[in-house]
């Protein structure tokens, strides 16, 4: 068997009691249910947390009643070639001009690095302008990911970007950590759990080096 020596980058934040969630959402907690001891051969914990904790995949039902749960969506958008686009210091929204330098021969998955150091805080973060998502939808994109808690601003009530994702049947990853990832093309692996009634799922998101040498894109 041939050994695969391609480099792997973990782009998932830690999931523990310090993981930030939307204000009022369930925070992470963990309790020992079975304890290793005479008569009990294992440790087993009970976990309680929002499915939007850490790196996660939103399901269409998160923003549309009657839409599919995360366990019912096709897995193919979460696995395959992707491009990491650097758009740091772009302000509150990623606008089309912030990604123009990276649009040539775009693969089906796009991840935005908006911050030099990723944060899950809802206090201040960069979201995506609806015009940017509309542009990506014309390029046969299957998935969009971002290193912030949401593609829409924290104060948004109509969630225009989420609604565009629904309209174009695109998948979404949020709360990624892209701090150490050069701009360029990779293989994305970020499969959600088969949660049959859930509006999201945690993922262990990783990037893997492509078979060919990585293409490092020109910085803006």
Entry pTM: 0.93
Note if 56 is an active site residue.
Answer: no
Residues contacting residue 47 through CB under 8 Å, at least 6 positions apart = 28, 29, 30
Q: How far is residue 217's CA from residue 104's CA, in Å, rounded to a whole number?
A: 10
User: Running DSSP on this structure, what letter comes out for residue 37?
Assistant: B
**Which tens digit of pLDDT belongs to each residue from 82-99?**
999 999 989 999 999 999
Report helix, strand or coil for 145. strand
Write down the catalytic residue from 33, 52, 56, 62: 62
Give the pLDDT confidence score for residue 212 in this predicted structure.
Answer: 65
Cα torsion for 22, 88, 70, 204, to the nearest 10°? -100
Burial group, residue 33, by CB count within 10 angstroms (0-12, 13-18, 19+): exposed
Domain 8-12+54-208 has CATH 3.50.30.50: yes
**Which tens digit of pLDDT belongs to each residue from 183-196?**
999 999 999 999 99
Domain map (residue ranges) of the chain:
8-12+54-208
**Which tens digit of pLDDT belongs to each residue from 201-215?**
999 999 999 986 544
């Amino acid at each position: 068997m041939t050994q695969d020596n391609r480099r792997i980058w973990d782009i998932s934040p830690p999931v523990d009691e310090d993981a930030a969630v939307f204000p009022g959402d369930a925070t992470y907690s963990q309790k020992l249910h079975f304890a290793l001891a005479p008569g009990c051969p294992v440790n087993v914990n009970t976990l309680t947390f929002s499915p939007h904790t850490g790196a996660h995949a939103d399901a269409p039902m998160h923003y549309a009643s009657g839409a599919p749960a995360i366990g019912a969506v096709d897995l193919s958008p979460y696995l395959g070639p992707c491009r990491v686009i650097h758009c740091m210091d772009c302000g509150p929204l990623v606008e089309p001009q912030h990604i123009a330098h990276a649009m040539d021969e775009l693969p089906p998955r796009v991840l935005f690095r908006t911050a030099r150091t990723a944060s899950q805080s809802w206090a201040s973060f960069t979201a995506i302008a609806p015009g940017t998502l509309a542009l990506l939808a014309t390029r046969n994109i299957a998935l969009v990911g971002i290193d912030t808690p949401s593609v829409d601003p924290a104060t948004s009530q109509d969630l225009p970007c989420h609604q565009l994702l629904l309209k174009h049947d695109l998948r979404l990853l949020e709360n990624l950590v892209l701090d150490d990832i050069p701009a360029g093309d990779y293989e994305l692996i970020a499969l959600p759990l088969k949660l049959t009634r859930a509006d999201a799922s945690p993922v262990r998101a990783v990037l893997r080096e492509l078979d060919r040498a990585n293409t490092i894109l020109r910085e803006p």
